[in-house]
């Protein structure tokens, strides 16, 4: 069915016991040796790095982004599979999706159980990802996990240790995998692809601040003082906080900081309903509502906007486009 390049980055799927816990230390070829190949698929392996995904940095993610583009420059490649730790998979997948302009699929997968375990889920997930990369076109960057296919945008890790670890809590399932085929149930909506960013010497700092009862502006102001060029405010409910935080957001925006507003609620969009510190006031103060994107992917949206330009006005325009807040920017893939 095709020539698939597997880019190995570590994670549980490449982890072995280290004496006190598990950590990634297996190369891509070792990981591939655990899984059967779909009929007609040939595989080439790129060992990019091998780390537990909580340790990933922006530099790692931009290196992965550029590697994917370099691999797809070869017209003989039919698709890409990225093996990745599950903790930050949703962030890396979304970053790649924002810059993905190719009909060929880039499919992320990983596992919840370490390699070599008798009941491990890595081999099955890897098989499914290879099948998806070889047969699905035009849907952007995908996540294949536990027999399901998810669009990168909106998909988050919803289970800490259960095998069916990923979902988009606000959308219907994208597809299913079984009996040697992939069934696509809907077409995801995606903004136009961003240009590939440069590799900055020092990536912009983007911080996440969570609101809660008794929450004040101390951490948000501290992020600005620490040099954050972007902040994601995780509000309560439909995206709410306090008048004090509204003033802190207004001050940050006046200093050229990009501020995005999401919510700690699992599903549903950020919505301008409440004043007295609610989303009505936060958006008026300059925070960009993120729709159904949650904190990790909202942070990636801000990062992508910062990397797209040095001009604050242009950064804000790009952020609105990435978030789908500039009219009918989201189009069928």
In angstroms, rounded to a whole number, what is the distance separating the alpha carbons of residues 163 and 91?
Answer: 19
In angstroms, rounded to a whole number, what is the distance separating the alpha carbons of residues 120 and 214?
Answer: 43
In angstroms, rounded to a whole number, what is the distance separating the alpha carbons of residues 185 and 163?
Answer: 22
Q: Which residue has the tokens 């995005």?
A: 260
Residues labelled catalytic:
12
Beta strands in 1-122 (DSSP E): 2-10, 15-17, 22-24, 41-51, 79-83, 106-109
For residue 134, the tally of other CB atoms under 10 A from its CB is 24
In angstroms, rounded to a whole number, what is the distance separating the alpha carbons of residues 58 and 207?
Answer: 12
CB contact at 8 A, 156 and 167: yes
């Amino acid at each position: 069915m095709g020539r698939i390049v597997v880019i190995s980055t570590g994670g549980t799927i490449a982890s072995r016991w280290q004496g006190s816990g598990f950590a990634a230390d297996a190369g891509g070829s070792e990981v591939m040796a655990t899984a059967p190949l779909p009929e007609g698929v040939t595989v080439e392996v790129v060992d990019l790095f091998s780390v537990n995904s909580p340790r990933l940095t922006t530099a790692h993610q931009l290196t992965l982004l550029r590697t994917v583009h370099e691999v797809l420059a070869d017209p003989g490649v039919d698709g890409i599979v990225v093996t990745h730790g599950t903790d930050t998979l949703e962030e890396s997948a979304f970053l790649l999706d924002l810059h993905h302009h190719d009909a060929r699929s880039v499919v992320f997968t990983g596992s919840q159980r370490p390699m070599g375990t008798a009941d491990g889920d890595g081999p099955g997930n890897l098989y499914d990802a290879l099948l998806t990369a070889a047969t699905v076109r035009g849907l952007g960057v995908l996540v294949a996990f536990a027999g399901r296919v998810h669009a990168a945008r909106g998909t988050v890790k919803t289970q800490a240790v259960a095998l069916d670890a990923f979902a988009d809590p606000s959308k219907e399932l994208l597809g299913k995998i079984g009996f040697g085929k992939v069934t696509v149930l809907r077409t995801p909506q995606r903004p136009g692809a961003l240009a590939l960013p440069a590799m900055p010497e020092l990536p912009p700092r983007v911080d996440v601040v969570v609101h809660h009862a008794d929450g004040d502006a101390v951490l948000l102001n501290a992020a600005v003082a620490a040099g954050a060029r972007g902040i994601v405010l995780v509000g309560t409910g439909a995206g709410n906080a306090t008048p004090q935080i509204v003033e802190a957001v207004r001050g940050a925006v006046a200093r050229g900081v990009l501020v995005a507003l999401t919510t700690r609620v699992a599903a549903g969009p950020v919505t301008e309903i409440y004043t007295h510190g609610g989303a009505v006031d936060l958006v008026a103060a300059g925070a960009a509502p993120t729709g159904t994107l949650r904190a990790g992917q909202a942070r990636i949206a801000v990062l992508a906007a910062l990397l797209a330009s040095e001009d604050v006005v242009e950064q804000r325009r790009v952020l609105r486009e990435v978030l789908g807040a500039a009219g009918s920017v989201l189009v069928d893939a």
